[in-house]
Structure 1
Amino acid sequence: MTVSGIDRLHAQLSRLEDMFPGYVTEIVEGSIVLNPVRPFHGKTIQQVWTLLGEQLPAEWAMVSDVAFPFDDANEFCPDLAVIPAEAEAENRSAYPCDLIEFVAEVVSPESVRRDYEVKPRWYASRGIANYLIFDPLQGHAVTMWNPGPEGYRGRDTIPYGPDLIIDSPLGKLTLTTARLPVDPKARPRPC
């Protein structure tokens, strides 16, 4: 993609964000993607944000739904990303993806492939130590670690209920999953 092509894509993305409130917009594999935000999505982010915020060292901060360009065809807006507090204090709409230390996504019906297949490759390729997927459609969390150029080499799927304990460069983090919402209409899908 050329520089003028990238500029056009970003200009379109900016217009779409203003035209479609209630949607998260990202550039994934060269396409602009709009995801509607659902209550269970927001509720999951809020709960994880609260639990994680209580445990983060002071030099780290969380951001949500801000842009992280990975390359010309991929600009993700993670549901929750942990970056250095001094960078977060700049209050920008986009940050370099290399700042991310920890990232979490919440699955929606439209984002299953992106969250389980596309994003793990990109997050791992940039050395992001921990990637968590919270899936209200299946009632489980997936934790990925040990990033490599082809993806994460470690992966566990934990049903909602017990505490999720993550060994991370930020320290040992404990996230309570028992109260995370599960969509009563959703059908389980294979991971």
Structure 2
Amino acid sequence: MRVLIVDDDRLVSSSLKTILEADGGIEVVGTGSSGSQAIALYGEYRPDILLMDIRMDGMTGIEVAEILLKQDPGAKILFLTTFSDDDYIIKALQIGAKGYLLKQNFESIVPSIKTVAIGQRVFGDEIITKIPAMIGDSSKEDFKKFDLSEKETEIMTQVANGLSNKEIAETLFLSEGTVRNYISVILEKLGLRDRTQLAIFYYKHS
């Protein structure tokens, strides 16, 4: 798996390179420190994944991602930042970024890259729990067009709010097995792979 790292802190880039290449299945093809370098290096290396900071001199990671996704809609861009800024999170969701992680969660970076590599999205727990407050409540009527029942919509909402199957079961007075079955049916109806994709679907259509 070929990864390009772009961060305006060269020490961070160096540390990330060491962490990623220690995995053995990841090759860091290059590192950059600005938005303009990100665009140039992406065009040169065509990495499988671009791991990029958001706040950089001259051009933000969001602006870089918008440019690259117009050029290559299949680009897999994973943001890694110290900022859990609401506007950045919403924009990352809107433009189609594959993930948004906080730098302090170093242990989650390699697993997240592998998850993004197989086509899934990754948003750290801190990010997922912030999204409901940013977006606000959604009307259940919005999801009828997706052939979801009221109960299925209710369970999807709980998943998007970050609740576990056990917590959903306790909240809705159902068994965990019933909750698992509901989630499987919902994923099948929507053509999604996992809970993370389901949460992202919910907020994109809210």
Task: Choose between structure 1 and 2: higher helix proportion.
Answer: 2
Question: Fold-level match, TM-score > 0.5?
Answer: no
Task: Choose between structure 1 and 2: higher strand proportion.
Answer: 1
TM-score norm. by structure 1 comes to 0.31
